[in-house]
Structure 1
Amino acid sequence: MFELKTIALFAVTAIAEIVGCYLPYLWLKHDKSMMLLIPAALSLALFAWLLTLHPDASGRIYAAYGGVYIFVALLWLWVVDGIKPTMWDVVGGSVALIGMAIIMFAPRTP
């Protein structure tokens, strides 16, 4: 159960980070409203707060989070941007998730 909760928290954290970066991108690159900066700032604040909820705020957690971030960013590419990931995107995202699982769930000695 811990594993599912951790992975879900990673995914929500990644979405908050991506939204916080994507909205300014829309404003700067696609002439969208400057008002998008308000929800972007709120999303990045949420992202920072969500990072504090992870089991340990350490390099190991952040390294594992990076693997989930990569996978979620590729899903964003497909769902939001409408660009189907290539086979290499899928392979790379899978490698990132495997890396996350190894980092997070490998047995440890106290």
Structure 2
Amino acid sequence: MSVLKSIPLFLLAGLCEIGGGYLIWLWLREEKPAWYGILGGFILALYGVVATFQTQNFARVYATYGGIFIVMSLLWSMKFDNYSPDKYDIIGALIALLGVCIIYYAPRN
């Protein structure tokens, strides 16, 4: 699968995982209505489905999601939680992103 086809799937899965988890967080930690948790659980289940559309094996797909989710989680927190990452957050996220790009996109025989 090409980079241009896999990246949108990684981003969609990230939105499902982070968005669903955030809704459950709001339900349990911020005392939002139960439907937040139910919707969050449904969206988290969609994340599991979206991940299967990648063509690499399970190990590479989930390792790569981990690095991409690090970056997306920081961006999500900046947008929705007024979080301001420090230089170590940014450096760590970039290192993780570089690492997972090597894992997923390195040419193999």
When normalised by structure 1's length, the TM-score is: 0.91
1:85 equivalent to 2:73? Answer no
Letter aligned with residue 55 of structure 1: T
For residues 9-88 of structure 1, what are the structure 2 equivalents within 5 Å?
A: 9-88=9-88
Cα displacement (A) at 1:29: 1.1
Q: Which runs of 4+ in 1 moved over 3 A?
A: none
Listed as ranges, the gaps of 5+ residues in structure 1 are: none
When normalised by structure 2's length, the TM-score is: 0.92
SS class of match (2:83): coil
Identity %: 39
Taking the aligned partners of 1:5 and 1:93, their CA distance within structure 2 comes to: 22
Taking the aligned partners of 2:58 and 2:35, their CA distance within structure 1 comes to: 34
Find the counterpart in structure 2 of residue 8 from structure 1: 8
Q: How many residues align?
A: 109
